[in-house]
Structure 1
Amino acid sequence: MRYQGGLLVVQTQYYCLAADGARSFMRNTLNIGWEGTKPNMTWAVLDCWIDSTFPVTREIVTLQVDGESRMAWIPRERGMQRFYVLLDGEITQEKTEASIRRHMVPHPVEFTHVEWFSKFEALISSLIKERVAFTFLHPTASGPFILAGDAAHVHSVNGGKGMNTGLSDAFNLIWRLHFLLQYLSLPSSTAHAILSSYDIERRKTAEGVIDIAAKLVRMGVHYSDVESPLVHQSEHGVWKAGHRAPDLWLAHPATGDAVRLYQKLTYGRYFLVLVGAPRNQVQVLEEQFATLIRLTGLKALGVGARRRDEDAVEEEVHTDAYGCS
């Protein structure tokens, strides 16, 4: 709805996406409740540069005092460090710095510059919520109201996955909506399966993020065990349906030039990879869909972001692969 020339103009849309944060107006208006808990914790957040003899690592570190893990240390860009500190009572920068020093004894710590300080209650509420909306799709599993990001799930700051998870929600959802709006004549059962799988896949991930945030470990995203109707349970070599595509070096048979698989991917376009398919099946596919796809034979050189052509070991992966876009 919008006002135009003093008149209220009502426009009808196919879907309404609620990505309006943890205090979502849309979620509250639709009376969509939460599943989960509200642990009574308030965290201080400090982005800073430090001078310390404590060994610096590129991994997330948690430190304990008196058997309690009340501090998480996450390295950031430009040499900056982020600290999450669980405090009681009044939350101040001075108390936060004192707690960090206490956790890092016997190593001295000097805070050479503080970029940002806040407390998590300022971001969501006075209590950290570890909760997931009981549905991401309302009033049916096909919408038309859809929740994403903090409107659908909130969790502890530990792990720093809030924005990443919200962006993943958006990417997971938008291709579905684009496809459904492009092909409005799809059978209702097909459209239902495509959209309802958003709730299935992203709910499983949100629950995992909440668990991971509590445990302070890194997240590996996959959809192979969530029973999504869009994921066929199969695998071939390093390829597993529902998992992130492996980071492979590939070679074009005509030129021999090495290229990473992820350099071939273009967001917003479909990219089909056929792995282990008999050559006669690939030929039939190319003949049937010649007007729709561009099929290219690719030779796998090896696995890993830093794999060099001369260091590649072909036995590590299955080399019969084809990509089409």
Structure 2
Amino acid sequence: MHSTVAIVGAGPTGLLLAGDLAHAGIPVTVYERRTTTSNLTRAFGVHARTLEMLDARGLADDLAAGGKPVDRLRLFDHIEIDLSTLPSRFPYLLITPQYRVEQALEDRAVTAGAQIVRGAALTGIDQETLRFEDGTTATADYIVGTDGAHSTVRTSLGLPFPGETVLSSIMLADVRLTSPPRDTVAVDSTGGAFAMIAPFGDGWHRIFAWNRDNNVDDSAPVTLDEVRDVTRRVHGTDFGLTEARWLSRFRSDERQVPQYRAGRVFLAGDAAHVHSPAGGQGMNTGLQDAANLSWKLAAAIRGWAPGGLLDSYQNERSPVGKMVLRSSGLLVRMAMLRGAPTRWARNTAGSALLTLPAVARRAAGTISGIGIGYPGAPRAEDRPLQRDGRLYEALRDGRHVLVTATPMRGYADRLHVVAPEEVTGEATLVRPDGYVAWRGPAGDAGAALPTFLGADEARHS
């Protein structure tokens, strides 16, 4: 089998990428080792910036309707991050199981024409050939590894994955609570243990818990009593924990591949970076990797990508990966602080800093992704348009969007021109991933477009 793009891994990252490429008319095949879809997974939260990207694909509102919005994150009992003032349609963290996100993305990808091959256990690749456990092979013009922390794509390329294990024997549990905490994501610690509790909104809660005194092998089974004891030790109560539908144990590493691209092979999501679950960044960062890469791959395949566009994936996403490793690692290390005086100082200083508006905005913007941009390409805030609804609705066809009141011809295959609700003399070119490519006087837009959209033969026909 030959595909223009082969994606290894049918998790959220691979499925968003496949949907975008198929929507752009690119033949794409997703190879997945699992034979069935998973219905219980580690990720549980979708941050505001990821919801905006899903909004640009017509998926966010349905997901939000079935999840639990949480507009405050409570850390270590005294520190609270307020998400309610984020400049977004989604000023909250949406608590929803990862399998709901996967299902929405898979439905979109299959509807657009992506092929998903399950039971395809990859054993190795080169620049254009994929080899599978059953002895079959496939070829592709481009290969993207979204196959997780133990990526076969990454190891086949011989790429290093430097870093370290931060914590082992972290417990995960989906449980019922008869007396749950108030509607926030609650994180607290004693130095020797920590526990995070998040509501799904359907009567179930997710608990992440760790006990320094019971650092057993990650393969050891988790008992409900173990989760209950750590929760009570950290929060002073077990919140009436009665039953569990899922119990698991894992280790938390901090690792990042130095290069996200090796020739015609790319890495995204956990195949490129892994970090602690603190802050709920894992799935979100992977989805944002995919949104950054998909339109660039499509542009290269369709022949209009400006020089260096594919390399910009590494240049833009690797620094974000490093930032997420630092921020999530800081939260874990804060949770592990020993000694009551040290923890008191952490809580007091954290609470005081978050009373400063600039610090509060930065904290909320970082954890939600709303405050993250790229050099020369800040996030484009959603805005009303004259005849096309909102900006993020206009992004749903996968093209760049030029917001201007001045008529513009050409580039019809890669540009959607829309008029702002409030007419000004300015024009803004928004990339398909929702970041600003260019902004300037409307009269200069025609001269600026070739830099970002390549040559357009239609303009001269």
Query: TM-score when scaled to structure 1?
Result: 0.67
SS of the equivalent of 1:119 reads: strand
- 1:97 paired to 2:228: yes
Letter in 2 for 1:264: A
The letter of the residue matching 1:210 is L
Displacement of 1:322 in angstroms is 6.3
Cα distance in 2 between the residues matched to 1:16 and 1:294: 29
> For 1:197, which of 300, 308, 312 is the aligned residue?
312
Q: Which moved more, 1:145-154 or 1:77-86?
A: 77-86
Q: 1:131 aligns with which of 255, 259, 262?
A: 255
Alpha-carbon contact 2:164-2:253 (below 8 Å) kept: yes
Letter in 1 for 2:386: H
Question: What does residue range 35-114 of structure 1 map to in structure 2 within 5 Å?
Answer: 35-52=162-179, 55-58=181-184, 60-65=185-190, 67=191, 70-87=194-211, 88-90=214-216, 92-93=222-223, 94-105=225-236, 107=237, 109-114=239-244
Secondary structure of the structure 2 residue equivalent to 1:21: coil
Secondary structure of the residue aligned to 2:227 is helix
- Residue 222 of structure 1: how far off its partner (Å): 5.4
| Closer/same/farther in 2, CA of residues 221 and 137 from structure 1, 3 Å limit | farther
Match of 1:298 among 417, 420, 423: 420
2:381 corresponds, among 229, 242, 246, to: 246
For the residues of structure 1 that align with 2:238 and 2:171, how far apart are their CA atoms?
20
Q: 1:36: Cα distance to partner?
A: 2.6
Match of 2:296 in 1: 176
- Tell whether the 8 Å contact from 2:261 to 2:314 is kept in structure 1 after alignment: yes
For the pair 1:160 / 2:296, whether they are aligned, the reply is no
Distance 1:242 1:40, change over 3 A: same
8 Å CA contact 1:173, 1:198 repeated in 2: yes
Structure 1 letter corresponding to 2:147: D
- Aligned position for 2:402: 272
1:273 Cα offset (Å): 2.7
1:262 and 1:81, CA in 2 relative to 1: closer, same or farther beyond 3 A? same
Q: In the TM superposition, what whole-angstrom CA distance separates every residue of 1:67-124 from its partner, at most 9, and x where no partner exists?
A: 456222223242422111112234622211111122221x452123322111124xxx
Identity of aligned residues (%): 26
Contact kept in structure 2, 1:19 and 1:147, CA below 8 Å: yes
Count residues with an aligned counterpart.
Answer: 258
Mapped pair 1:149 → 2:283: no
Q: What is the aligned counterpart of 1:220 among 369, 375, 379? A: 369
CA contact (8 A) 1:62 1:69 kept: no
Contact 2:187-2:195 within 8 A present in 1 as well: yes
The RMSD of aligned alpha carbons is 3.4
| Residue deviations 1:148-205 (CA, integer Å, cap 9, x gap) | 1111111112223222222222221111111100007x6xxx44x2111111222122
Distance 1:8 1:131 in 2: 32
Cα distance in 1 between the residues matched to 2:396 and 2:137:
38
Report if aligned partners of 1:247, 1:260 keep a CA contact under 8 Å in 2: yes
Pair 260,321 (structure 1): closer, same or farther in 2 beyond 3 Å: farther
Q: Which runs of 4+ in 1 moved over 3 A?
A: 7-11, 221-224, 258-261, 287-296, 318-325
Q: Tell me the CA shift for residue 144 of structure 1.
A: 1.3
CA offsets 1:1-30 (integer angstroms, 9 cap, x no match): 589xxx97774x332212222111121121
**Is 1:262 paired with 2:262?**
no
Contact 2:145–2:266 (Cα < 8 Å) also in 1: yes
Deviations 1:278-297 (A, max 9, x none): xxxx53xx255496766443
In structure 1, the residue matched to 2:152 is 25
**Residue deviations 1:39-62, cap 9 Å, x none?**
24321011122122x64123x321
Partner letter of residue 104 of structure 1?
Answer: H
Cα deviation code 1:272-322 (max 9, x no counterpart): 235xxxxxxx53xx255496766443225xxxxxxxxxxxxxxxxx96676
Residue type matched to 1:89 in 2?
A: N
Alpha-carbon distance between aligned partners in 2 of 1:213 and 1:63, rounded to the nearest angstrom: 15
Q: Counterpart amino acid of 1:23?
A: H
Q: Conserved in 2, the CA contact under 8 Å of 1:298 and 1:320?
A: no
Please state whether the residue corresponding to 1:178 is helix, strand or coil: helix
Flag the 1:110–1:36 CA change in 2: closer, same or farther, 3 A.
same
- Greater helix fraction, Structure 1 or Structure 2: 2
Greater Rg over alpha carbons, structure = 1
Residue 35 (structure 1) shift: 3.0
